[in-house]
Structure 1
Amino acid sequence: MRRSLRWTGAPWRGLAVAGAGLAAATGLVASAPPDPLGERTGGDTTVFATGRNAFSFPAANLEDPERTRFVIGNSFFRRNWVETGGSTTARDGLGPHFIARSCGGCHIQDGRGEPPAIFNRLGETRDPLVSLLLRLSIPGTDPHGGPNPEPVYGDQLNTAAVHGVKPEGQATLRYDTLRGRFADGTRYTLLKPTYGVRDLGYGPLHEGTMIGPRIAPQIIGVGLLEAIDEADILANAADQAAAPGPIKGMPNRVWDAPSGRTLLGRFGWKANVATIAHQTGGAFVGDMGITSRHFPSESCTTTQADCAASPSGVSAGARGQHGVEIDDKTFDDVVFYQATLAPPARRDASDAQVLRGQTLFAQAQCATCHRPSYVTKEGPFPRLTSKALSGQRIWPYTDMLLHDMGEGLADGRPDFLASGRQWRTPPLWGIGLIKDVNGHTRLLHDGRARGVLEAVLWHGGEAEEARQNVLKMNKADREALVRFVESL
């Protein structure tokens, strides 16, 4: 039986070691298996880690060769890509348009992005939004039934560009303050964001453009979510449909480029992506301008002549694969890295306040959408993941379904079967460690919530009754509820 790993606070030194050497190099030491109260969030994959690097460890039960592959994928995930013609051809091909220079530029420490923190006296920010991007679309659908891209700027606003190419523009953000009270009289405030664009490089947006802000989420455990049996997710929808009450989740069905077919959506804020491979390929070309086998064309529109004329990178060609900028092996290693990132263990699982919060979580109907547990099967692409992720009892707290969350959270932008008011139930594991990893507690699809309680107070639509249940809680119960969620 494998032993779990516990983080002891030593600084990150990379994972260029395997087996027993991993523990020595990273500060992980063997410990006895945890008690059965739910600490092992990812089953045998769980790592006992806190602090800045809590989201950056491989699954604890990987074999030694897989740990080496994890290290290689980690390198290409974190390091910057460069413009063609630079001093290196190992990672060239950045742009023409881009948002970030690496995957880790948005998913800092494999964690969650946040909105800009600096605003002017009018309450507006003009800082570049890096970990927060703007999706763009107009009415209608693309050939696969997905969002119809804005004709001049495509499916997202790219805020940076290589030399000789104009950036597409910049995003603007301001907040209005909403005020309310709990039933016991305690006051609260919420931040309501308003988004816009400025300095557009290629003319105005289409008059029917819909804008959807998206924050980069933490990526722990995504390989385990990919390995949840589709039947279990569909059973969630069937159970909710048969039960009384307003909670009626539905699955999304989306086009998956790597498999060439329509699959169940699992990732993205609207469950608009089916596999880690598609998410990775889409992010490489959309966020960094790096083409790959299933995304071989730069995202230049017909209006953007300077973008189309920009030279392509040669790093993949140097490895024997021409016509793209990241070769299959490197791409697959980056996918494997993400798929095998371990969820960290729960903290304080037997604490009395945490246990009280767990009871309140269920009583408030939160667990209806945030389903606690599953047993994993296998991912869709065995070469891109590990068998170590199969057959694990995991505790992500999500039903993986779409729910109408009310007008307050609506972005008005459909995405495959998802309406402008629907959002996927996000997994809650690791939520209490975001502050350790990323230094903030911003939650929801655009980071508007400044913590767990504010996120709950933004719930509406199908979750309005749950929100009302929380509004009726006294201070001690609210604190217990938050403490439980932050223990996950």
Structure 2
Amino acid sequence: MPRLCCPAFMLTLAIAGAGSAMGDTVALNRDLVQPHLHVVPRTAQETTRIAKAVAPTTDFSGAEPFETNSGGGATVRARDNADAFSLVSGNAPFERQLDFQLGNGLFTKIWVSSPSSTLASDGLGPLFNARSCQSCHLKDGRGHPPEGPDDSAVSIFLRVSVPVEGAEHMSAIESYLHALDPNTERTAPDPVYGGQLQDFGVQGHAAEYSFGVTYKETEIALSDGETASLRQPSYRAANLGYGPLAKGAMLSPRVAPQMIGLGLVEAIPAQDILALADPDDANGDGISGVAQVVWSHEYDRPMLGRFGHKAGQPTIRQQSASAFAGDIGISSTLFNTPAGDCTSLQTKCRAAPNGSTGTDALTEINDEGLDFVTFYSRNLAVPERRDVDDPVVLRGKEVFYRTGCTSCHIPKFVTERLAEQPEQSFQLIWPYSDLLLHDMGEGLADMRPEGRANGREWRTAPLWGIGLTETVSGHSYFLHDGRARSLLEAVLWHGGEAANQRDAVIDMPAESRAALIRYLESL
């Protein structure tokens, strides 16, 4: 179990113990630093300049300065083929591009089972969802959800957890969250199946389950005589290979998200994200973003969650190591679990040969390899915007702003000034996300808590590059499980805090609705 790291951490718990808004703010701002980044503090003059640069526009007669460069200086030219998300940061020094290529090699590498003569490539599983990172993040884009009950699940899986009663035997992060909010729901992995279900096994090991989904269509009436159809999914874990799931088990589907811009997201100052949080809706606008808090296994402390559909990981490196362990069954120094997600009750899986033999760190991927994958993921570039001056796009942008979509999809940030990351350092970027958790309503609820996120809350997804989804991934499926088959369907699935914006889109003139979608396609 992680240790409570220092007296300052305990002081923060004491300050936040009442769970008040003030305590919450004090605790988060004090603790949620970014120890993995070498930050050069901003000057007062820079802070003033930044405030002007990120202020929302009220002029929709033309494109804003630098609006084409969604990823700042790291932006690359938009390609019209499937490689559009696979390019290195446009401002990467030439000598660092080799590191990017080495990371790409590990990202696309096919892992094999142990024992094997290829000691650098064995260790797969024994239970797994994919044999490579690229198998889920196809061309560094979105995963492929199944289209129906007879379609194979290309890159989707089910997370699983069970509720935990009482406040005893809490881990360090659970103690921290309990101090911030005593009502935080606690969960644990399934005692047999672990934290996610694996649908493949190496030779001699049965898969844990078969993924199943059926859809029910519902027609939505829109203004001006238009209609849309939403498909409501129903998920099931079929052919369970290791007995039934635990009582009360909660399942939540996950489709792999696109990979672009991760390094820029990581470089956004934590305090700029925390400043947007409004957990009690103090301003009365109906939007109450909550900052996710997770445990850093690398720094043994709480950190701001940024990555994943519920912002469950604090850094790209930990996100990568977690995916290696959970999805492929590859151990690292961050998650030294050679048997992957296999639990102590899966004794055959735990006893199987692994790929740690012959490595200095006694893990299946060493720190150097993990660093290369991290660098690659950090530097997958955001393509430039298209048609920013098109009159229909500008009209759609005005609809997007006037409707209130920017309450969560914050257009602009300026990243930290970083001493050792020139690609991400001090860039004006346009991710269209506040990276906070929001209640998205009953329709999108998975009813599975994760950290501070309850069963109705999701991280605001960044929108940059969303218009190139079909170009890269060959489909136009969106949201955490790919249920939305178009951008319009994705908008219509919004509920909860975004219900007013969704209803406005339903009721607005068809011409305005079409312009809004055209604007999203330009991102």
Give the TM bin, normalised by the shorter chain. Answer: 0.7 to 0.9
2:212 paired with 1:172? yes
The 2-side partners of 1:322 and 1:445 are apart by 35
**Match of 2:50?**
none
What TM-score results when the alignment is normalised by the length of structure 2?
0.82
1:414 pairs, out of 439, 449, 454, with: 449
Q: Does 83-92 or 346-355 show the bigger shift?
A: 83-92
The 2-side partners of 1:232 and 1:487 are apart by 26
**Match of 2:106?**
76
Q: What is the CA distance between 1:239 and its match in structure 2? A: 10
Query: Match of 1:71, as an amino acid?
Result: Q
Task: Name the SS for the 1:134 alignment partner.
Answer: strand
2:371 pairs, out of 332, 335, 349, with: 332
Q: What is the CA distance between 1:87 and its match in structure 2? A: 4.5
The 1-side partners of 2:163 and 2:115 are apart by 39
2:142 paired with 1:112? yes
Task: Name the SS for the 1:306 alignment partner.
Answer: helix
The 2-side partners of 1:323 and 1:79 are apart by 20
Deviations for 1:211-262, whole angstroms, at most 9, x for unmatched residues?
Answer: 0111100010000000000111011114994423211111011112122211
Task: Name the SS for the 1:232 alignment partner.
Answer: helix
**Match of 1:23?**
none
1:223 pairs, out of 263, 280, 300, with: 263
What TM-score results when the alignment is normalised by the length of structure 1?
0.88
Distance 1:410 1:281, change over 3 A: same
1:371 pairs, out of 390, 410, 414, with: 410
**Match of 1:307?**
349
| TM alignment of 1:176-191, pairs within 5 A | 176-191=216-231
**Match of 2:163?**
139
**Match of 1:9?**
none
Query: Match of 2:71, as an amino acid?
Result: G
1:271 pairs, out of 311, 334, 339, with: 311
Q: Which of the pair has the greater relative contact order for Cα pairs under 8 Å at 6+ separation?
A: 2
**Match of 1:359?**
398
2:476 pairs, out of 441, 447, 455, with: 441
**Match of 1:203?**
243
Query: Match of 1:204, as an amino acid?
Result: P
C-alpha contact 1:255 1:262 (8 A) present in aligned 2: yes
Deviations for 1:296-344, whole angstroms, at most 9, x for unmatched residues?
Answer: 0132112212201110114xx54x5142100110111001100011101
2:83 paired with 1:44? no
C-alpha contact 2:321 2:332 (8 A) present in aligned 1: yes
Query: Match of 1:475, as an amino acid?
Result: A
The 2-side partners of 1:322 and 1:401 are apart by 36
The total of aligned residue pairs comes to 442
Deviations for 1:96-134, whole angstroms, at most 9, x for unmatched residues?
Answer: 1100000000000000012113x4xxxx2362x241110
Q: What is the CA distance between 1:205 and its match in structure 2? A: 0.6
Task: Name the SS for the 2:134 alignment partner.
Answer: helix
Cα RMSD, aligned residues only: 1.8
Q: What is the CA distance between 1:186 and its match in structure 2? A: 1.2
The 2-side partners of 1:392 and 1:81 are apart by 36
**Match of 1:85?**
115
The 2-side partners of 1:286 and 1:270 are apart by 16
Distance 1:68 1:37, change over 3 A: closer
C-alpha contact 2:261 2:379 (8 A) present in aligned 1: yes
Query: Match of 2:379, as an amino acid?
Result: T
Segments of structure 1 that go 5 or more residues without pairing to the other structure are 1-33
Segments of structure 2 that go 5 or more residues without pairing to the other structure are 1-62, 175-185
**Match of 1:247?**
287
2:382 pairs, out of 326, 334, 343, with: 343
C-alpha contact 1:126 1:173 (8 A) present in aligned 2: no
C-alpha contact 1:99 1:130 (8 A) present in aligned 2: no
The 2-side partners of 1:40 and 1:274 are apart by 26
Q: What is the CA distance between 1:178 and its match in structure 2? A: 1.0
The 1-side partners of 2:204 and 2:346 are apart by 12
C-alpha contact 1:221 1:342 (8 A) present in aligned 2: yes
Distance 1:107 1:180, change over 3 A: same
Q: What is the CA distance between 1:192 and its match in structure 2? A: 0.3
Query: Match of 1:347, as an amino acid?
Result: R
Task: Name the SS for the 1:103 alignment partner.
Answer: coil
Q: What is the CA distance between 1:280 and its match in structure 2? A: 0.5
2:485 paired with 1:450? yes
